Chain A
Amino acid sequence: TQLLEQSPQFLSIQEGENLTVYCNSSSVFSSLQWYRQEPGEGPVLLVTVVTGGEVKKLKRLTFQFGDARKDSSLHITAAQPGDTGLYLCAGEENNAGKSTFGDGTTLTVKP
């Protein structure tokens, strides 16, 4: 079973700061997703990446997929309190139709 490691596990920053969270594995992924989850709700999709080296931007969020498709990063510029939440990465191996989730990064952005 593939293992997805996310770091850091917890991150607390001030509004306006930049941050990066990481998702790493020894497995190669056919696709990788980032989700954001707020307390009491289900995860909501932020982005899907499929091509090695791919970079996608969503407003202040920048997602990068590693060249070897084994890792990914999420960078947030000028974080806002509304960015607070649990960020989860999930990787699909060999187009199997099911994904393994990392344990998540809990982000708190203080006003």
Chain B
Amino acid sequence: DADVTQTPRNRITKTGKRIMLECSQTKGHDRMYWYRQDPGLGLRLIYYSFDVKDINKGEISDGYSVSRQAQAKFSLSLESAIPNQTALYFCATSDRLADSTDTQYFGPGTRLTVL
């Protein structure tokens, strides 16, 4: 089984709808991240969490919110989806307790289309 899973893998929705993307990990890592990727671009950080009670905004947090329900679960919500939020979304984890670097492990991604 994959260490970092994301659900759903694909989602098509309409403008104005609320959407939740979920991420779960079995790696036991303390830190979790949400990124979006647009064609021809790298990954841009939306939110990150160092532990259940420590959540931080990334460079593009507007229009998004997150919840760290447990150490293993980190969900991303789009309160009112708009077309320019159409993108690939990736969840990632890192283990700062065991590794002093920011090496990250990624899920398979969610392809979101907002019509």
> What is A's interface to B at a CB cutoff of 8 Å?
1, 4, 6, 9, 30-31, 33, 35, 40-45, 48, 50, 88, 90, 92, 95-104
Q: Do A97 and B109 touch across chains, with their CB atoms under 8 A apart?
A: no
Closest to B94 in A: A97
Q: In the complex, A35 Cα to B56 Cα: how many Å?
A: 24
Q: Do B45 and A45 touch across chains, with their CB atoms under 8 A apart?
A: no
Return chain B residues, CB-CB under 8 Å to A99. Answer: 45, 102, 104
Q: Do B90 and A97 touch across chains, with their CB atoms under 8 A apart?
A: no
Q: In the complex, A73 Cα to B106 Cα: how many Å?
A: 22
Return chain A residues, CB-CB under 8 Å to B109. Answer: 40-42
- Name A45's contact: one of B40, B41, B105 (CB within 8 Å): B105
- Given A50-B101, A97-B48, A97-B96, does the pair A42, B107 have CB atoms closer than 8 Å? yes
Return chain A residues, CB-CB under 8 Å to B59. Answer: 1
23 A-B pairs with CB atoms under 8 Å apart are A30-B101, A33-B103, A40-B109, A41-B109, A42-B106, A42-B107, A42-B108, A43-B90, A43-B106, A45-B103, A88-B42, A88-B43, A90-B43, A97-B48, A98-B33, A98-B45, A98-B58, A99-B102, A101-B42, A101-B44, A102-B42, A103-B40, A103-B41
Report the number of A-B residue pairs with Cβ-Cβ less than 8 Å: 72
Closest to B38 in A: A103
Return chain A residues, CB-CB under 8 Å to B4. Answer: 42
Interface residues of B in 40-97 (CB under 8 A from A): 40-45, 48, 50, 56, 58-59, 90, 92, 94, 96
Q: In the complex, A73 Cα to B105 Cα: how many Å?
A: 21
- Given A43-B43, A88-B42, A101-B44, does the pair A31, B103 have CB atoms closer than 8 Å? yes
Q: In the complex, A104 Cα to B90 Cα: how many Å?
A: 16
Return chain A residues, CB-CB under 8 Å to B103. Answer: 31, 33, 45, 48
Return chain B residues, CB-CB under 8 Å to A100. Answer: 45
